[in-house]
Structure 1
Amino acid sequence: MLRAVLIESYFAPEVRPGLLEQGVINAEAFQYSQELLEHARKQEVKEAVTGEERYRTTARDQGFRRAVVTAYNHRCAACGIRMLTPDGHTSVDAAHIVPWTETQNDDPRNGMALCKLCHWTFDEGLISVSSRCVVITSPQITANGNVPGHLLTLAGRGIIGPVEQALWPDVTALNWHYQKRFRRR
């Protein structure tokens, strides 16, 4: 209610609908993130989204991101970087282990917080995580004149997981990534 009054009082008429809509999306994203975390803590699998989805795509994306990034305390599971600006912007993304397009699975255990570089290398199969939650690097990271920098130091290191054990990555998802995405040669 207060938000609507402030928007009506201080913003131009042409931007008001967009601001009000963003408020609804933010509220839905927060609610979705809470549901995801609650299901994961109870070791329940949240049902896949159907055609009659309860949350719009933007809220679903933001909710998954909020749940995963919060679980990892804004820290990259692979390299450990944690950067947060005073206004709350973080250097990490919420990466699906098994892509959402494959399973429509937003369970936080199908996600890890990864910095931009680790997220990209994970999606490209240049790094993976074993079922024992140890980082594996592909021989491809040093191929073709690549200069992978600190990525070479990640091999054999355990990930930095969530404080809550119930929110650690799902072993089945990690195995899927290793089998389907990781570049072993």
Structure 2
Amino acid sequence: MQRDFPPSHHILDHYSRCFKKLKRGVSKHLGKAPHKPVMLLGVIRGIKQKEIMDNRIFITPELLLNFRKIWSHLVDTEHIENLTLPFFHLRSEPFWQLVARPGMEPGITRSGSIKSFKNLRETVAYAQIDPELFLLLQEPETSRILEEQLLHQYFYTTRTNYFTQYNSIEESQLEYQILNSSGTVYRERLLQLRKTIDESRYQEELFIRGGLFKRSIPKIYNHRCCISGMRIMATPNIQMIDACHIHPFSLSNDDTVPNGIALSPTLHRAFDRGLISITSDYKVKVSKLVNDKASKFTLSQFENQSIYLPEKEKWYPAMESLTWHQEQVFLG
């Protein structure tokens, strides 16, 4: 979205007033909830980092991580960190609209709240902020004004923490697990984690881990399909090479690199449906059910072809996962 003219002062004043008068829940012992301003600061940071490219705010691992980082630096009360609440309840503000997934409109229009992070993702496709507000948040000067408005209004005593340069320890630890853990150790960690947190928090955790898996696998394979060799580099927000679980996460609870391969979308679909597989010596096997002789773009051309492998042997596809795929998915 491009802007041809500077935003007028009355538009900036309007959103400054909106940010100053956010409708917030109140707890008798904790005071007013900090969730909405933290959410808006997360959106501002996402726009700065080019993770949010237009006025549609999708529920992404990056947004969730930003929310958690900002919360840890600014909130000094005993409120419970929860992205679901502000993402849904910001609909009470004039600049934030929720867009439902097809068929899920009643979940937004009739519901006074939302039960869980999983429920939020199942119901809401994305939130949409006013185009005028998005333009303001794209501009460094007006974005800074609105950012400081939120910090002064809601986090006056902790606001200096917001500008501290820091890396996400949580993100770094999770990436380390995905890159270096065995599937067995990773599954055990998840099992122990599930015993210590509630279900909604656990679903957030899986969402972040899944996002990091999807980000890590294309990097490990140098953004190249391991079967066709197709390599496409795009913007950070546009992935043209998929991260494919060999043994689906829903069955394996395994987001580690050896349980993943990088595939083009078409080959990803063929792999998931058992039309192709990978042998223990890392060669492509094509199902006998495939009949593509009439096309010049064939799956059969890859039969017995060696796949492209990652730089480090520890990241090679795991034998356990490949065997599972050959026995349980491949159509022979």
SS at match of 2:280: coil
Deviating more after overlay: 164-173 vs 22-31: 22-31
In 2, the alpha carbon distance for the partners of 1:142 and 1:129 equals 19
Partners of 1:135 and 1:62 lie apart in 2 by 27
The yes-or-no answer on 1:16 pairing with 2:165 is no
In the alignment, structure 1 residue 171 sits paired with structure 2 residue 319: yes
Measure the CA separation in 2 of the matches of 1:103 and 1:87.
Answer: 28
Q: Kindly report the root-mean-square deviation, in angstroms, between the aligned alpha carbons of the 2 structures.
A: 3.1
Query: Structure 2: where are the runs of 5+ without partners?
Result: 1-14, 20-35, 46-61, 70-167
Give the letter aligned to residue 181 of structure 2. Answer: H
Asked whether 1:150 is paired with 2:298, we answer yes
Residues in 1 aligned to 2:68 and 2:304: alpha-carbon distance in whole angstroms = 40
Q: CA 1:55–1:33 in 2, change beyond 3 Å: closer, same or farther?
A: farther
**Once the two structures are aligned, what percentage of the paired residues are identical?**
26
Is the partner of 1:45 in helix, strand or coil?
Answer: helix
Which blocks of at least 5 consecutive residues in structure 1 are unaligned? 1-9
Aligned position for 2:186: 46
Q: Which has the larger radius of gyration?
A: 2
Residue correspondence of structure 1 range 1-185 to structure 2 within 5 A: 13=19, 16=40, 19=43, 22=63, 23-24=66-67, 31-39=173-181, 45-48=185-188, 49-50=190-191, 51=194, 52=197, 53=202, 56-87=205-236, 89-142=238-291, 147=295, 149-184=297-332
CA drift of 1:44 comes to 7.4
- CA–CA distance in 2 between the matches of 1:174 and 1:133? 9
Deviation by residue 1:88-108 (Cα, 9 ceiling, x = unmatched): 633111111111111111111
Aligned-residue offset at 1:17 = 5.7
The 8 Å contact of residues 177 and 256 in structure 2, kept in 1 or not, is answered as no
Per mean C-alpha deviation after superposition, the further-off stretch among 62-71 and 154-163 is: 62-71
State the TM-score, normalizing by the size of structure 2.
0.46
- The one of the two structures with greater contact order (alpha-carbon pairs below 8 A, sep at least 6) is 1
Report the CA distance between 1:86 and its aligned residue.
4.7
How many residue pairs get aligned? The number is 172
* SS of equivalent to 2:263: strand
